[in-house]
Structure 1
Amino acid sequence: MTKSPQSSSTKIRKLSPTAAALSHIQRAHSQANEYEGALILTEARPRWSSLQTAEGPPSNWDGRADPDDASDREPPAKKKNNPWPVRIFLISLVFPWDFHLGPMRLSAYRFVLLALLGSCLVLLIAGKVGKVRFADLAVLLFALWSALSLIVDNGFATAMQPAGIQVVETFGAYLLARCWIRDFDDLQKAVRLLFWIVVILMPFAVVECFGGGNVLRTAMGVIWPTAIFAPEHRLGLTRVMSVFEHPILFGLSTGSILALNYFVGDYNERLMKRYLKSAVILGTASLSLSTGPIFSTILQIILISWNTVLYRIRYRWKIFIAILILLLIPLELLANRSPLSIMTQMVVIDPQTYWYRRLIWDYGSATALNHPLFGIGLGDWERPAWMPNDTIDNFWLVEAIRYGLPAPILLLSAGISISLAMAGKRNFEKRLDDVRTGYIITMVFFFQIGWTVHFWSSTYVLALFLLGSGVWLLDAPPGGSEKTVAKAGPPGWRVPPP
């Protein structure tokens, strides 16, 4: 029997839902295979994504992934934690506790340095932290020469303890930074921790400055006995010493991080945020009411401003040095005083202290020249009887008097060699160029302030730590041309691409 066209059409329409379902499944399976193939091709070669056209990749495509395509970007690297030895050391600097082991007096940071000195020395000798550099040897020789001078001048029995502490505080602090700060992230974490230490100290410093007493040191004395120092007053206010042994040490320690925090701690942050943090550091350091730290901290701001304003000029620092030399030569030839004396008189808060500082320099330098090789050790320096105060407000002069002329020469050689090697490096990427600028300004800070004040204890080891914190930059590979750095603009600026 022949089927009518109508009945046949009716049967086809009845089967069409099943056929449509099978067709949909087949298409889905085909698309899945195509997607897997696309993933394989994606792993084999980068996509041009947003640059793609109907005809394929553009003629100037170099095979690299499109930087604007978020799907082609590598996942962000996991943030590094600051190395625990650095954290422990920096935090230990603000604990004014002293522990006695027999005849030895050990502070918290000395315990940390003693515990880490051996392992850091092994890392340096084994070449795990880059090659041994001239600065490493200079700092080591400075520490050993200082210890030897103490033994020669005062005998082994008397000098054994201070000589050992001198080696630990000098080479131990430098070597800790040399071994445990090995890249930008390590340094940035350390600088940020130092900034937050300043922030924590600031409110207690304000209370102390306006006559509320040294609240922080008293509170720590409840936990463990601490030395209490008589407060000093100036301009009707109390000079803040906080957890340190003297107001100068407080101002120097808090002010020393300004340049590094601006260039490294707040790298790629907005200018307003950098200015605010710099103001916090300057304000906190100023509570010491000490001329040296205040002036030297302002000097960092001046150098930062010079770099910011003239960032497009490649030879801006050579121009700065040339201007400085042109100013110093007439002063040296025409003035009846040295440039150091003129500078000291200009910045001192109390004018009467200038004349006493000048007498200290005259008699102190004579003592250093009378004992040029090993100094006088722990002895008293030569001065008239009407100068009863044995304080010397000059770090470099103290080192020459106590350990002989080779000591400050070696330490200065270490800082100068690192700074010159950094300045001679080319083709740094922008953030490494910022590290270089911040580090060299910090070294200028310590060099300059060393002529106006003396520093010791935790402030001294912080200075040696910061000296060693930038050596890793000498091993950093180049990451961009100088023109690239110049076009990027000063820190915190958002310069659009040309």
Structure 2
Amino acid sequence: MATAHRPYYAPPPISRHSHASSSDLPVYFAVLLGYILLLPPQLNTTILGSVLPPYRFFLIPATLYVFGSIFGGRLRLTWPDFFVAGAAAWTSFALFMTSKQIDAFTSSFAQVSDTALAYFFARAVFRSLRDVRLFLLLMLPGLAIMAGILVFESLTHNHILQPFVSQFTGQSVNMRIDERLGFMRARGPFPHPILAGIFFASFLPLYWLSGIRGWPFFIGILASVASFFTVSSAALLALAAGTGLVVYNFVSERIANLSWKFFFLIGVLVTFVLEFGTKAGAFSMLMRFASLNSYSAYNRVLIWRYGTENVEKNPWFGIGYAEWERPDWMKGSIDHYWLLQAIQFGLIPPLLIAMACAVGIYVLAQRSSHSNPIDARFERGVAIAMAVFAFGVVSVAIWLSAQAWFFMLLGITVSLGYAERHRIAPRGPMPVDAMRLAEHQSLPSPRPLPAEVGDNSEIR
């Protein structure tokens, strides 16, 4: 295999007067939302039968900022934006077709808040890689503390955070102790271990490829790896997939033949072989090897079988929050986010959301092929995080803060993919001595800085 050619690149020094640092206030509000997402469910309130987590009280007034960004020209709408907006609109319409009016109103409000509002808030706030780096740095203390709680709960076999908070709110805590592999399945601030696991695992590619150095880099990685202590198959799958893709990115930067196009070609080929070359099919094979126990794998296969039958009977508007048809001995949980969306709201919303994910990841990946090495690496990190998250929810349902973060990450992906490229003026002519030295050594003269170097700074 040939070794990849590394073009000359000399990043300019970090400047406080860079275009990307004009105003960090929106990012600070995004960080505030991130910390609110880490609040335990004992702080939720219920109004008109609808659960209102604290982050929804933040997202409602944030809508004004989103509309201000759209009408002010700061947020340019793209195809993924229309896909997400269409999914939210169809979800609300479907709920009014399958539920009572008051139930449909409260449910629509909850769904739109956790999906469209979270997505468009991230779209309006994050406009550059610098914004995302700043967000990751400021989120690090909260993530580290919650990760430490996950580890402590798992090793001590005792839920700590939520019972502690319930003493002040008066909300009862009914959490059973589940054990796997000798560890307790920790929850931290989330209502289920699966949500904690998929949430923290999604940060692994972000911190790994962000360009952040020193102790924040290592703390970010450790906080992400703490998702292991939820002992969730979805979290372990996300960690393994995220690590594997990051390693492949490292290798692809050094071996020219190992491109991402080659990776996707192999992935499609393997999926085709598993789907048509085995009796079980690609999904069943994935569940068999990705689940921690045979019962969980078998249950997920049954969920897919009977769930798709429900979708075939109600393809347009779904069944809302009614009970889905299944054998009496099966549990009611649906451990498949995309399938759950189709069962409840019809095929249109999950298809539109999947299209938004696919387009966002594709556009960002394409952008990375024209960016400088530092920015390209981080752009691929965001694309990997989004892809792993979207792929991971085929074996888990997400709701509340985990779902809000999923759509925030989608908003970040789309924003970076469609971000405008800024041109930095040259800092002056090249010194004469450098020109003569290049000519004397028969080497190509040092090239001027690339036109697209807006977000190449590494935050240390």
TM-score, normalised via structure 2 length: 0.83
Query: In 2, distance between residues paired with 1:180 and 1:74?
Result: 22
Q: Report how far residue 157 of structure 1 moved.
A: 2.2
- Please name the residue that 2:236 is paired with: 294
What amino acid is aligned across from residue 431 of structure 1 in structure 2?
I
Q: Report how far residue 124 of structure 1 moved.
A: 1.7
Q: Report how far residue 100 of structure 1 moved.
A: 3.6
- Please name the residue that 1:84 is paired with: 28
Find the partner of 1:95 among 39, 42, 62.
39
1:213 aligns with 2:158: yes
Distance 1:74 1:252, change over 3 A: closer
1:336 aligns with 2:279: yes
Pairs within 5 Å for 1:13-162: 76-77=16-17, 81=24, 83-96=27-40, 97-101=43-47, 103-129=49-75, 131-162=76-107
Could you say what secondary structure the match of 1:470 adopts?
Answer: helix
Query: Residues 415-440 of structure 1: CA distance to partner in whole angstroms, max 9, x if unpaired?
Result: 11112222333531233312320111
Q: Report how far residue 331 of structure 1 moved.
A: 2.1
Residues 252, 260 of structure 2: 8 Å contact kept? no
- Please name the residue that 1:322 is paired with: 265
Name structure 1 gaps, 5 residues minimum: 1-66, 486-490, 493-498
Q: Report how far residue 446 of structure 1 moved.
A: 1.6
Q: Report how far residue 73 of structure 1 moved.
A: 7.9
Could you say what secondary structure the match of 1:105 adopts?
Answer: strand
Residues 429, 479 of structure 1: 8 Å contact kept? no
Query: In 1, distance between residues paired with 2:251 and 2:218?
Result: 15
Could you say what secondary structure the match of 1:427 adopts?
Answer: coil
Q: Report how far residue 118 of structure 1 moved.
A: 2.6
Query: In 2, distance between residues paired with 1:358 and 1:102?
Result: 36
Could you say what secondary structure the match of 2:45 adopts?
Answer: strand
1:440 aligns with 2:386: no
Query: In 2, distance between residues paired with 1:316 and 1:484?
Result: 23
Find the partner of 2:209 among 259, 263, 268.
263
Distance 1:479 1:226, change over 3 A: farther
Query: In 2, distance between residues paired with 1:296 and 1:73?
Result: 35
Distance 1:122 1:73, change over 3 A: closer
1:167 aligns with 2:112: yes
Find the partner of 1:451 among 383, 388, 394.
394
Distance 1:348 1:104, change over 3 A: closer
- Please name the residue that 1:237 is paired with: 183
Query: Residues 406-459 of structure 1: CA distance to partner in whole angstroms, max 9, x if unpaired?
Result: 110010111111122223335312333123201110121122111111111100
Distance 1:225 1:121, change over 3 A: farther
Find the partner of 2:245 among 293, 303, 315.
303
1:177 aligns with 2:131: no
- Please name the residue that 1:419 is paired with: 361
1:465 aligns with 2:374: no
Q: Report how far residue 402 of structure 1 moved.
A: 0.4
Q: Report how far residue 243 of structure 1 moved.
A: 0.9
Q: Report how far residue 471 of structure 1 moved.
A: 2.7
- Please name the residue that 1:6 is paired with: none
Could you say what secondary structure the match of 2:173 adopts?
Answer: coil
What amino acid is aligned across from residue 91 of structure 1 in structure 2?
Y
Residues 157, 183 of structure 2: 8 Å contact kept? no
- Please name the residue that 1:409 is paired with: 351
Distance 1:268 1:239, change over 3 A: closer
What amino acid is aligned across from residue 235 of structure 2 in structure 1?
P
What amino acid is aligned across from residue 150 of structure 2 in structure 1?
A
What amino acid is aligned across from residue 53 of structure 2 in structure 1?
S
Residues 254, 285 of structure 1: 8 Å contact kept? yes
Pairs within 5 Å for 1:353-432: 353-387=296-330, 389-425=331-367, 426-432=369-375
Residues 113, 168 of structure 1: 8 Å contact kept? yes
**Equivalenced residues, count:** 412
Residues 140, 219 of structure 2: 8 Å contact kept? no
Q: Percent same amino acid among aligned pairs?
A: 23
Query: In 2, distance between residues paired with 1:142 and 1:74?
Result: 41
Q: Report how far residue 75 of structure 1 moved.
A: 6.0
CA RMSD, Structure 1 to Structure 2 (Å): 2.9
Could you say what secondary structure the match of 2:230 adopts?
Answer: coil
Query: In 2, distance between residues paired with 1:334 and 1:245?
Result: 39
Considering only CA atoms, is the larger Rg found in Structure 1 or Structure 2?
1
Could you say what secondary structure the match of 1:373 adopts?
Answer: coil
